[in-house]
Structure 1
Amino acid sequence: MKNMKNKTTKNNMINYGIVIVLFVIVQALSSTGNLSRLLMGLLVPLCVYTIASVSLNLVVGFSGELSLGHAGFMCVGAFSSALFSQVAADSIPQVPRFILALLVGAAVAALFGVIIGIPVLRLRGDYLAIVTLAFGEIIKNLINVLYIGVDDKGLHVATSAAGLHLEAGGKQILKGALGISGTATLYKDIKNYFFLIGVILLLLTLFIVQNLVNSRSGRAIMSTRDNRIAAESVGINITRYKLLAFTISAALAGVAGVLYAHNLSLLKVSVFDYNMSILVLVYVVLGGIGNIRGSIIATIILYALPELLRGFANYRMLIYAIVLIIMMLFNWAPAARDWRARMVEKFKGKKEKKEVA
């Protein structure tokens, strides 16, 4: 038991170490001028997608449910936090306002997670995937027709620009399909620290997910994945623990959405379509379902690769597709998994011999 606990702690520390080492390398390259503007622009989105993939792995990998609505939770987190930042821009300083925006985005996404999760988590397999996909599309289309403004009388909501009656001095914030503009400029004093903030949020996400997975609740969540009937027979509330994982995953997706929204000058709802959900799911599957470290590595490689291959012009996406196939085979092909197991045993054997000597 003690050895297992030590192994778990070691694996967790390795995950933290990977993130910290990569951050130090990027900072060193940036300070010496060896990091291009293109790569600098990828750093914050990279944190966003890594947080999203780690949080989705909690549902797909550890809870055993296929969710395709992750972009929907990112969307509500992004727009609710951007709306809060716009409304509170004149009354709250930048740093506490950003912290509150993170809490607002996480809370709203978690609330939607509970609302969607209670009826949806009674479904299984493809049915759950279809309903969560529908949720993401409904949220996107609902925000697409909303117009929100603020004046001395408070917030005003309408479904058309003509229906939004603002007094003199009022400000229109959400403009339907045109989205919300100017959020990033509200944080001009701390915008240069968004990558550092993204890394801190990623470490916080890892802390939450890893501690949940290794807790009593986490073992209950995984038991419902491994054998639903056996878990019910020993008194585990299946719906409760699946809802717990789903809600925490939604809240962390909302945090990713907050970071995404505040890094852009123009936030449009069209980016939060089902393609984003599929993309995050691809990172999770290729990194290994239930493998947090794999999610981190796969997201970093697969998100940055298309931009790094721009010099290959027409062959860029061909190389990207080949890399996807190789990663899939390496992670899931029986021959590759057997080879990895043999390498691990061989490494352990050498280590034991060295310790004996």
Structure 2
Amino acid sequence: MTIQESKRLWIGLGIGLFWFLMLLWPLLGIRPEGLQFSETWAVFSRIAVAAVVIVAIYHAHRLGRLDFIGTPLAKARDAVRSGYENAPTWALLAVVLVAALIYPQFAGRYGNDVAISVLIYICLGLGLNIVVGLAGLLDLGYIAFYGVGAYAYALLSLHFGLSFWACLPVAALLAAISGCIIGYPTLRMRGDYLAIVTLGFGEIVRLILNNWMSLTNGPNGILAIPRPELFGFGFASLSSLYYVILGIAVFTVLAVYRLNFSRIGRAWEAIREDETAAELMGVNTFLLKLLAYAMGATFAGLAGAFFAARMRFVGPESFTFLESAMVLAMVVLGGMGSIPGVILGVLALVALPELFRDFELYRMLVFGGVMCTMMLIRPAGLWPAKRVGRRSEEME
């Protein structure tokens, strides 16, 4: 590292800390009783010291002064990576599945509740990954299909007495039909126009749920939704509900994996890379994009049906644009088109914020900073998808 690069690094740190102070002071220093500086400086000083230490370590690493630590760590990392690559896939999956099965026995009520939320968002993230990651279609109204599945189970169970297991495929089917209805008018659009139209359709669905009083009970929502039952056993506790959503999540992972490596998945990837070239090669882009919307909506419908059964209540406020943005952030942060990446993205955006709950006011600040840092360090995501083959320009 040259002297100029070193100066640029420390000047950038100083500018960043000054900008952070200007952002932090209005959040903590402006109170109803007047302006305060003590709390702002207390928080800023801790963060500034941590930032200086991190930059100093990075600077020392670039100068080669930490090689006595970095070299053994690099060898250990390479050994772990080699062991992971050489281990049979079935053995790794078996370990993960066994850990998932025994998790409720060692976790309390709070741990089970967080795990259920993680599994729900895994289903949502993998469903959106089909639309965004594989087919390359930006969908900002995806949470509407989640709401369709939830309301489908709530209405069918209360008015027709159908069980959860009978309503589950019906909810998925209705969500898929909704995906086709929403997707059909948007298939001729691309880029920003597609995003705006899907956002509008998502808001239309939310407003219908909010205003159709005779069917959805409007903003009051639907109460007393029955829990799942199987051969007389009621899934009333969180630990038993955990196994229900675990089964749905495993089914979603397997289905998305099979779709990813099928001819349909390859066609979706071709559309994502170059739609015009894919169409010239004989790919029916119209039907395949419609299928992508339908398949992505199917898994959202499954998750929505379980959400209604778990909460025993559904209301329009659970299906806002913010939820769509969160699911999209999980897909992008984890790695578009990558199943393990989506799972890591869900863990990063659902499970990790719970660890910062003790920070109270600063939790979302830390959360946003970590997200920005990760996008700067790994713009392709935590676990990017592996492309089959390489392009000629990449070879050059």
Query: What TM-score do the two structures reach when normalised by structure 2?
Result: 0.69
Structure 1 equivalent of residue 153 of structure 2: 81
Displacement of 1:225 in angstroms is 1.1
Matched, 1:121 2:198: no
Q: What percentage of aligned pairs have identical amino acids?
A: 36
Displacement of 1:226 in angstroms is 1.1
Unaligned runs of 5+ in 2: 1-84, 387-396
Structure 2 equivalent of residue 105 of structure 1: 171
Structure 2 equivalent of residue 278 of structure 1: 325
Structure 2 equivalent of residue 354 of structure 1: none
> Structure 2 residue aligned with 1:178, among 196, 206, 220?
220
CA deviations 1:110-161 (Å, max 9, x no partner) are: 001111112212211111111111111101111111234xxxxxxxx5xxxx
Structure 2 equivalent of residue 328 of structure 1: 375
1:224 & 1:144 partners in 2: Cα distance? 36
CA deviations 1:171-228 (Å, max 9, x no partner) are: xxx3211110111457681133221111111111111111111111111111111122
2:227 & 2:280 partners in 1: Cα distance? 55
Q: CA RMSD, aligned part only? A: 2.6
Displacement of 1:88 in angstroms is 3.2
Change (3 A) 1:333 1:239: closer
Letter aligned with residue 80 of structure 1:
A
CA deviations 1:78-119 (Å, max 9, x no partner) are: 101111111233xx5xxxx11111112101100011111122
> Structure 1 residue aligned with 2:298, among 243, 251, 254?
251
Answer yes or no: is the 8 Å Cα contact 2:335–2:380 preserved in 1: no
Q: How does 1:1-357 map onto structure 2 within 5 Å? A: 16-17=93-94, 20-24=97-101, 26-30=103-107, 35=108, 37-89=109-161, 92=162, 97-148=163-214, 157=215, 174-184=216-226, 189-192=234-237, 193-332=240-379
Higher relative contact order (CA 8 A, sep 6+): 1
Query: What TM-score do the two structures reach when normalised by structure 1?
Result: 0.76
2:182 & 2:273 partners in 1: Cα distance? 23
1:221 & 1:278 partners in 2: Cα distance? 22
2:200 & 2:97 partners in 1: Cα distance? 37
Structure 2 equivalent of residue 167 of structure 1: none
Unaligned runs of 5+ in 1: 1-6, 149-156, 158-173, 342-357
Answer yes or no: is the 8 Å Cα contact 1:184–1:191 preserved in 2: no
Larger radius of gyration: 2
Change (3 A) 1:51 1:217: same
Change (3 A) 1:225 1:248: same
Structure 2 equivalent of residue 170 of structure 1: none
Answer yes or no: is the 8 Å Cα contact 2:164–2:227 preserved in 1: no
1:120 & 1:46 partners in 2: Cα distance? 30
